[in-house]
């Protein structure tokens, strides 16, 4: 069996194998992780008074309210109305479930534990691409996956994780669901812009979030914030919804379309370093361990994207 990093052609996600897509694809992934990392400090503030399901609904509702009008401007009303809404409910519902589980995981554990488990995202994503025929494995890519996971573990090892348990299980399931939903979003809505692809799945996620909200309320769980929403929380919500989720997901889906979900997910393991940079601006200290981990992941990205275009006879 030939070992090649080039995507398999067919009814699967089409990813460019040329080096011309590597720079913009990885640049989009970096932008996605920088904006995503901004959500971790915001979530820590919000989770002090917001139940996870309420935070999920608020996050998705704000994103949908802002992004749907932008989507209509980009793609036009006709394309929006004719979009694959039924399939979007499935993909978006999966994404919404992944978002809920990651918030719940952070509530039950801490950001470090969630980041450690998320460092296995390249493995999840690679297995998905292999299973769907979107990628043939090459040794340099396989080594890149391993190195990326090691770098992610090093980047998060500076702080001890919380006790593992239900929260860790939620983070594992969330990582797998997120990888699949991201791949499906980039693959199954080719007629839409990058903003449209992200927005239509956010709508599906919001439907699931509202269902979870009412189900939790019927079960007697807390669904209302325990403190009044002040200006600080409003600002944190804007960061958490529009920057850490909305803008980040647009960048990530665009990156997946260029370099594949497996390689794009490598960048998730640099997120702890970006979080550290944000906290550094806010007065925290520099951490060489996380910087080392980020450097190792960067090497993994270079290894994994050493692509050669297949010449067809």
Domain locations along the chain = 19-304
Would you state the pLDDT for residue 181? 94
Name the range with the highest mean pLDDT among 67-81, 96-110, 167-181: 67-81
Instruction: Determine the Cα–Cα distance for residues 299 and 305; give it in Å rounded to an integer.
Output: 10
Inform me whether the pLDDT recorded for 304 exceeds 80: no
174 close to 125: Cβ distance less than 8 angstroms: no
The C-alpha atoms of residue 144 and residue 158 are separated, in whole angstroms, by: 22
d(CA 251, CA 35): 9
Alpha-carbon separation of residue 57 from 143, 180, 224 (angstroms): 39, 21, 11
Whats the size of the chain, residue-wise? 313
pLDDT at 305: 62
What pLDDT is recorded for position 19? 57
**Angstrom distances, CA of residue 42 to CA of 181, 223, 270, 278:** 24, 19, 18, 11
Q: Where is average pLDDT lowest: 30-39, 135-144, 220-229, 276-285?
A: 135-144
Start-to-end CA distance of the chain, whole Å, equals 18
Of 3, 26, 30, 1, nearest in space to 15 by CA: 26
pLDDT mean over 41-63:
91
Q: What is the pLDDT of residue 199?
A: 96
Tokens of 240: 């958490």
- Per-residue model confidence as pLDDT tens digits over 203-216: 999 999 999 999 99
Calpha distance 254→196 (Å, rounded) = 11
186 near 197, Cβ under 8 Å? Answer: yes
**pLDDT band, residue 23 (cuts 50/70/90):** confident
Give the position of tokens 């989009």: 28
As a whole number, mean pLDDT of residues 277-294 equals 76
Mean local confidence (pLDDT), 167-195: 90
Q: Find the mean pLDDT for residues 230-251.
A: 94
Task: Work out the mean pLDDT of the chain and round it to a whole number.
Answer: 81
- What would the mean pLDDT of 47-59 be, rounded to a whole number? 92
C-alpha 165, offset from chain centre: 22
User: Cα–Cα distance between 173 and 162 in angstroms, integer?
Assistant: 18
* Residues 56-86 pLDDT 10s: 999 999 999 999 999 999 999 999 999 999 9
Task: Output Rg (C-alpha) for the chain, integer angstroms.
Answer: 19
Question: Given its phi and psi angles, is residue 147 left (phi above 0), alpha (psi -120 to 50 degrees) or beta?
Answer: alpha
């Amino acid at each position: 069996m030939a070992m090649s990093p080039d995507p398999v052609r067919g009814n699967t996600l089409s990813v460019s194998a040329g080096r011309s897509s590597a720079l913009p694809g990885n640049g989009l992934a970096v932008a996605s992780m920088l904006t995503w990392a901004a959500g971790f400090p915001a979530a820590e503030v919000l989770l002090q008074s917001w139940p996870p399901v309420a935070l999920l609904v608020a996050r998705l509702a704000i994103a949908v309210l802002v992004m749907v009008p932008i989507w209509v401007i980009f793609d036009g009303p006709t394309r929006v109305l004719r979009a694959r809404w039924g399939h979007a409910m499935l993909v978006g519902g999966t994404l919404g479930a992944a978002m809920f589980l990651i918030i719940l995981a952070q509530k039950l554990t801490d950001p470090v534990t969630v980041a450690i488990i998320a460092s296995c995202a390249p493995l999840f994503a690679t297995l998905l691409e292999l299973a769907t025929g979107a990628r043939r494995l090459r040794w340099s890519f396989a080594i890149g996956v391993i190195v990326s996971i090691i770098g992610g573990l090093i980047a998060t090892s500076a702080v001890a994780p919380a006790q593992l348990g239900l929260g860790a299980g939620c983070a594992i399931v969330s990582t797998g669901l997120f990888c699949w939903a991201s791949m499906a979003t980039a693959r199954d809505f080719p007629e839409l812009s990058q903003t449209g692809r992200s927005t239509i799945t956010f709508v599906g996620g919001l439907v699931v979030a509202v269902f979870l909200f009412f189900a939790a309320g019927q079960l007697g769980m807390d669904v209302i914030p325990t403190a009044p929403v002040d200006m600080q929380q409003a600002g944190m919500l804007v960061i958490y919804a529009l920057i850490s989720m909305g803008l980040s997901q647009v960048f990530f889906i665009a990156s997946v379309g260029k370099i594949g979900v497996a390689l794009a997910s490598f960048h998730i393991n640099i997120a702890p370093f970006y979080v550290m940079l944000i906290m550094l601006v806010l007065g925290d200290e520099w951490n060489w361990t996380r910087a080392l981990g980020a450097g190792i992941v960067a090497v993994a990205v270079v290894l994994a994207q050493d692509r050669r275009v297949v010449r067809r006879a």
